[in-house]
Amino acid sequence: MSNKALTKIKPDAPPLHAVLQGELDALAAAGLQRRHRILQSPGGREIEVDGRKLINFASNDYLGLAQHPALVAAMADGAQRWGAGSGAAHLLSGHLAPHAELEAALAHFTGFPRALTFSSGYLANLAVTPTLAGRGAAVFADKLNHASLIDAMQLAKTQGATVQRYPHADLATLERLLAASTAQRKLIVTDSIFSMDGDLAPLPALLALARQYEAFLIVDDAHGFGVLGPQGRGALAHFALPADPRLILMGTLGKAAGVGGAFVAASEEVIETLISRARSYIFTTASPPALACALCESLRLIEQGDALRSALFARIQELRDGLRELLDASAKTCAWQLPASLSAIQPLIVGRNEDALHLAQALWDKGYWVPAIRPPTVPQGSARLRISLSAAHTAADITGLLAALQALAQRGM
């Protein structure tokens, strides 16, 4: 640092760590500080945390596959054969035969010409929109999209793309924006199932708009893949939508698939463009090949998993029926709200941050892990419990959670 630069620092400036601590104190006072919970057990239906047994409603393991013996065996066998790590990025020497096998299986499973795997859904989303939307392009994104899609949108903006966010699922506004745009390339970006509300995007209508206005439709199916549609093929299959050249599908492999990573499925041209230009693909070490071995087995289990999906949707219905009865009976003592979600994500909107935190802690004390979700993840004043359901949950788990919530509602929490 030059002497000139040194003179700009105020002699009474607080140490950097003190500044950070002040910011942390402000987060804590607003009920917004995050903390780890360390599990002393595998992350299944019942978990152990701090020496306590809890029923886990905080997981995205929607089909209960994360501990499935066949996946564990496939990963162990893969590690024995292919080693612990890939050793390099995909475009160096890190693209092993299991990666190629998984990509071919994902393309076949989703019905697209090609698929490309990533180490996480965040990296996959950071790849697609910024790679396809440079100067002269226009991005139209649902306001409730996942943080990774928002960050991808911001990256595209720094590259010269025009970015507009339309009100959640507002097709009329989106069409007005598309009609007014003179961009040479247009991208519509949406979640399939929205991660904090659990509702489903109007994908058929969005695809119709993409066709009408010559746009790409990018669909993040993180919470639909493995759960929705025939044989768990996802939200596009749920709506019987074909693998249209305008469609670009992103799916995560650490939720219903039970392992980790993500993929993008699309046309030959889109996948080749990502391989050549997507920075979060080119400059990242490839995932361990043993994960790809496990995921090939996971696809087989998903395809044959109708019984698991039936169990999951039974638990969803039981919870929603019970919560509606609870809210009707407790209308005078609590103002909780249950949005219209038919997915494995069931939000119970509480309102204030501190109320959501207190409710989550009270459930914890009763043996149920249900996380409190607060701003900026959700809008101010809509802090909530996010109840995540799994095929591994039992009817007794749902009954117990409802009884605990009923007791807390009667206390006016």
Q: Which residues are catalytic, by number? A: 195, 223, 255
| Pair type for strands 162-166 and 137-142 | parallel
Burial 230-267 (b: 16+ CB within 10 A, else e): eebbbbbbbbebebeebbbbbbbbbbbbbbbbbbbbbb
DSSP 13: P
CA 297 to chain centre: 22
The neighbouring-strand residues paired with 39 are 49
Q: Count of alpha carbons within 13 Å of 368, Cβ hemisphere only?
A: 25
State how far the Cα of 263 lies from the Cα of 270, in Å rounded to an integer: 13
Extract the tokens encoding 256: 């219903």
Instruction: Give the list of residues 6+ apart from residue 341 with CB closer than 8 angstroms, or none.
Output: 197, 198, 199, 347
- Element holding 384 (H helix, E strand): strand 383-388
- 128 and 278 in contact (C-beta within 8 Å)? yes
SS (H, E, C) 65-97: CCCCHHHHHHHHHHHHHHCCCCCCEHHHHHCCH
Q: Count of alpha carbons within 13 Å of 85, Cβ hemisphere only?
A: 5
